[in-house]
Amino acid sequence: MYITNTELRVRYAETDKMGVVYHSNYFVWFETGRTEYLRALGYPYSRLEKEGIMLPVVECSAKYKKGAQYDDEIIVQTSVSELKGASVTMCYEVIRKETEELLVTGFTKHAITDKKLKPVKLKKENPELWAALQDCI
Amino acid sequence: MYITNTELRVRYAETDKMGVVYHSNYFVWFETGRTEYLRALGYPYSRLEKEGIMLPVVECSAKYKKGAQYDDEIIVQTSVSELKGASVTMCYEVIRKETEELLVTGFTKHAITDKKLKPVKLKKENPELWAALQDCI
Amino acid sequence: MYITNTELRVRYAETDKMGVVYHSNYFVWFETGRTEYLRALGYPYSRLEKEGIMLPVVECSAKYKKGAQYDDEIIVQTSVSELKGASVTMCYEVIRKETEELLVTGFTKHAITDKKLKPVKLKKENPELWAALQDCI
Amino acid sequence: MYITNTELRVRYAETDKMGVVYHSNYFVWFETGRTEYLRALGYPYSRLEKEGIMLPVVECSAKYKKGAQYDDEIIVQTSVSELKGASVTMCYEVIRKETEELLVTGFTKHAITDKKLKPVKLKKENPELWAALQDCI
């Protein structure tokens, strides 16, 4: 199982009046983890899009244990949990670097589509990326 | 089952380069639906917080069928699906008003806590709100 | 001088750990005011974009007097302050409805461009919109 | 004149349907630049807040030359342009790293206050920080 660690700092803009990070912002961090995961594999998502492969989110979920706070250093651990004909699911663990506490877990499931958001069979369309993702699980 | 309909307009800021609303923003719309739901029940969340009852999100999830677009009029249908000792779960359906299409479904599960985010038994702490939520299911 | 009043509610997501609305979010409210202003004039921005007229922001500014708080009802007063060959400037006043306090003032200056973000002379391209904006000042 | 360079990557969430970064998000990047500037000076803003010094934004402004795009590597150049009795102004230049293009310039002016957002004289309250900021100009 291939895992990447992406680091970021909590922005003031990401907090809310409860003093912790607003829950929807973790999905943006998941995106950051996913972006760096695909780059590490050799397939930056910005390039995939230019080549006509889109990964729109069809489902996502998160569980919150503890809240991240302003200026915390955060690690987003990213992995691939499932690869199907025309979808891929990625998992995330959000960790506070200083204390190594697990703050949030979650996943995003993505359709694999062309530019018009029509499903494509990745194995046929881009067999190298397919193989690379298979090797990650 | 008590359901509220909350209306909003898609903001340009909420779209992304795919031309549709970025997936995490639907959770903000869920918040809008939840806020108006509690207000309709007679318990505005802003007042609950002042009285020392917080509803931090402990889990959330969404499934995406179609993307909302800039300037779409949106209806967020909100309901309560589960009430436990110290948690409440709310469900959402996001509908494009013009076409009546169902775009996104989801839920948020909330701990019921005091200001220090420690769980409280709502039935004891605020029996009227407890009864009102029970009647919604 | 033509002025529109657009109402909105402060979202929890828009607050930060200082307990008030994070400063950049007022520019999103300015957008809401601008969108409703153009709709009131008979030129919804969503339609302008489809017809090939874009209004990208080239400058913006805001001054903050008091902070809006969660669940406040807000009025965004919008007007046109300047119309040039290929740019238009709009002004905003953000008011807390309950207390009628002026919270924030600001402006956004927009280039008037085609889809490729090249400047167009609005007077030639869409003389009706040009005249309508002129009448607003 | 002391200047810091802070690097970040454009997030998908930060783009809008025009395909570039939504204008208000640059103010969040300014915040990132400001945070790292103060940390480099030895006064992390998270610590200042704990010690009771707040820097709420009282004015901000930006000029947009070119749009940042998804996955661009960005440099935020930050400096202090003015220090008064109870306010400080910081300037920003947003640069696309690959092409060295200047995309956006701007400033934020901050009141210097206590936790209740009442102005404090920084020179008296925290003479070391005052001197450090003076040396930056």
Cα Dmax for chain D: 48
Q: How many CB atoms lie within 10 A of CB D104?
A: 23
Q: Which of D17, D20, D71 to mutate to test the interface with B (most CBs of B within 10 A)?
A: D17
Which DSSP symbol is given to C104?
A: E
Q: In this predicted model, what pLDDT tens digit does every residue of C39-93 receive, in sequence order?
A: 999 999 999 999 999 999 999 999 999 999 999 999 999 999 999 989 999 999 9
Q: What is the mean pLDDT of residues C28-32?
A: 98
For residue A57, the chain B residues in CB contact (below 8 A) are 23, 64
Distance from CA of C94 to the nearest CA of A (A): 20
In this structure, the number of other CB atoms found within 10 A of the CB of residue D128 comes to 9
Per-residue confidence in pLDDT tens, chain A, 137 aa? 899 999 999 999 999 999 999 999 999 999 999 999 999 999 999 999 999 999 999 999 999 999 999 999 999 999 999 999 899 999 999 999 999 999 999 999 999 999 999 999 999 999 999 999 999 99
CB contact under 8 A, C61 and D58: no
Residue of D nearest to B23 (CA): D13
Count of structural domains, chain C: 1
pLDDT value, residue B132: 96
Which H or E run includes C10? none
CB contact under 8 A, D13 and A35: no
Task: State residue C27's pLDDT score.
Answer: 98
> Phi and psi at residue A41, in whole multiples of 5°?
-75, -15
- The answer to whether the CB of A69 falls within 8 A of the CB of A15 is yes
Structure token pair of residue D56: 């709420």
Name the residue among B57, B108, B60 with its Cα closest to residue B80. Answer: B108
pLDDT, tens digit (0-9, with 9 covering 90-100), for D35-92 = 999 999 999 999 999 999 999 999 999 999 999 999 999 999 999 999 998 999 999 9
CB-CB contact of A94 with A107 (8 Å): no
Considering all CA atoms of chain A, what is the largest pairwise distance in Å, rounded to the nearest integer? 48
Angle subtended by helix axes B25-41 and B127-136, to nearest 10: 110
CB-based contact, B24 to chain D, within 8 Å = yes
Write the DSSP string, A68-114: --TT-EEEEEEEEEEEETTEEEEEEEEEETTTTEEEEEEEEEEE-B-
Subunits touching B (CB < 8 Å, at least 3 pairs)? A, C, D
- At residue C71, the pLDDT reads 98
- In this prediction the ipTM stands at 0.97
Q: What is the DSSP string of B108-134?
A: EEEE-B-TTS-B--HHHH-HHHHHHHH
Query: By CA distance, what is B20's nearest residue in D?
Result: D17
- Give yes or no for C22 touching A (CB within 8 A): yes
**Stretch (H or E) spanning A48:** helix A45-50
pLDDT value of position B9 = 98
**What's the confidence (pLDDT) of residue D114?**
95
Q: What CATH number is associated with residue D92?
A: 3.10.129.10
pLDDT digits (tens, 9 = 90+) for D107-117: 999 999 999 99
| Interatomic CA distance for residues C8 and C34, integer angstroms | 13
What integer best gives the mean pLDDT of chain D?
Answer: 97
Are C61 and D61 a contacting pair at CB < 8 A? Answer: yes
D26 touches chain B (CB under 8 A): no
Cβ–Cβ < 8 Å for D23, B18: no
Closest among D126, D69, A107 to B23, alpha carbons compared: A107
Terminal-to-terminal C-alpha distance of chain C = 5
| Cα gap D79→A123, rounded to integer Å | 50
Residue C89: φ, ψ to 5°: -120, 130
Q: Which two tokens stand for residue C93?
A: 């006043």
- Contact predicate A101/A62, CB 8 Å: no
In this complex, the residue of B9, B12, B46 whose CB is nearest that of residue C70 is B46
Range of the domain at C58: 4-136
B58 touches chain D (CB under 8 A): no
- Chain A residue with minimal CA distance to B115? A18
The single residue listed with the structure tokens 């995003």 is A108
Contacts of B70 in chain D (CB under 8 A): 17
Burial class (CB in 10 A: 0-12, 13-18, 19+), A67: buried
Q: Which A residues 103-132 touch B at CB under 8 Å?
A: 108
- D19 interaction partners in chain B (CB closer than 8 Å): 17
- Model pLDDT, residue A24: 98
- Gap between the Cα atoms of C137 and A112, Å rounded: 49
Give residue B13's identity as a one-letter amino acid code. A
- Quickly tell me which residue has 């702490």 as its tokens: B125
Which DSSP helix (H) or strand (E) runs through D4?
strand D4-9
A neighbour chains, 3+ CB pairs within 8 Å: B, C, D
Of C18, C60, C63, Cβ closest to residue D56: C18
A136: enclosing H helix or E strand: helix A127-136
State how far the Cα of D133 lies from the Cα of A7, in Å rounded to an integer. Answer: 29
- A16 has catalytic annotation: yes
Could you tell me which residues are beta bridge partners of residue D61? C61, D107
Strands D4-9 and D73-84 turn out to be antiparallel
Structure token pair of residue A96: 């506070």
The torsion angles phi and psi of A86, rounded to 5 degrees, stand at -135, 35
